[in-house]
Amino acid sequence: DIQMTQSPSSLSASVGDRVTITCQASQDISNYLNWYQQKPGKAPKLLIYDASNLETGVPSRFSGSGSGTDFTFTISSLQPEDIATYYCQQYDNLPTFGGGTKVEIK
């Protein structure tokens, strides 16, 4: 299985801050990398697919980049409604998820 190492596991930032989360694959996965947001008690929501494509209806403050083994997810200006846990997911082989990053407001 391809292992996905996501960091940090948690972070605290102020409203308006730029937030960055990284995800590293254990082998080259090209751009087969997606990002999700999950709020407590809810199903995950797809934000970014194929490393950098914004899902329809998702605010433009969310973005993704990277290819190969190293990927970055960015919230350009953190909003209160962005409090959630974020997961990366690869699908180069059978899908696997990263461990998640819990984002809190400072």
Partner 1 sequence: QVQLVQSGAEVKKPGASVKVSCKASGYTFTSYGISWVRQAPGQGLEWMGWISAYNGNTNYAQKLQGRVTMTTDTSTSTAYMELRSLRSDDTAVYYCARDLSVTTRAFDIWGQGTMVTVSS
* 99 binds partner 1, rule: CB under 8 A: yes
- Do the beta carbons of residue 104 and residue 8 sit within 8 Å? no
3-state secondary structure of 52: coil
Residue closer to partner 1, measured from CB, 26 or 77: 26
End-to-end CA distance of the chain: 36
Among 2, 11, 22, 45, binds partner 1 (CB under 8 A): 45
* 1 binds partner 1, rule: CB under 8 A: yes
* 100 binds partner 1, rule: CB under 8 A: yes
* 37 binds partner 1, rule: CB under 8 A: no
Among 14-22, 47-55, 62-70, 71-79, the segment contacting partner 1 (CB under 8 A):
47-55
* 55 binds partner 1, rule: CB under 8 A: yes
The DSSP annotation for 58-77 comes to: --TTEEEEEETTEEEEEESS
- Return all residues near 2 (Cβ < 8 A) that are at least 6 apart: 25, 26, 27, 29, 90, 92, 93, 96
Q: Say which amino acid occupies 44.
A: P
Cβ at position 85, least distance to partner 1 in Å: 8
- Interacting residues toward partner 1 by CB under 8 A: 1, 32, 34, 36, 38, 43-46, 49-50, 55, 87, 89, 91, 94-100
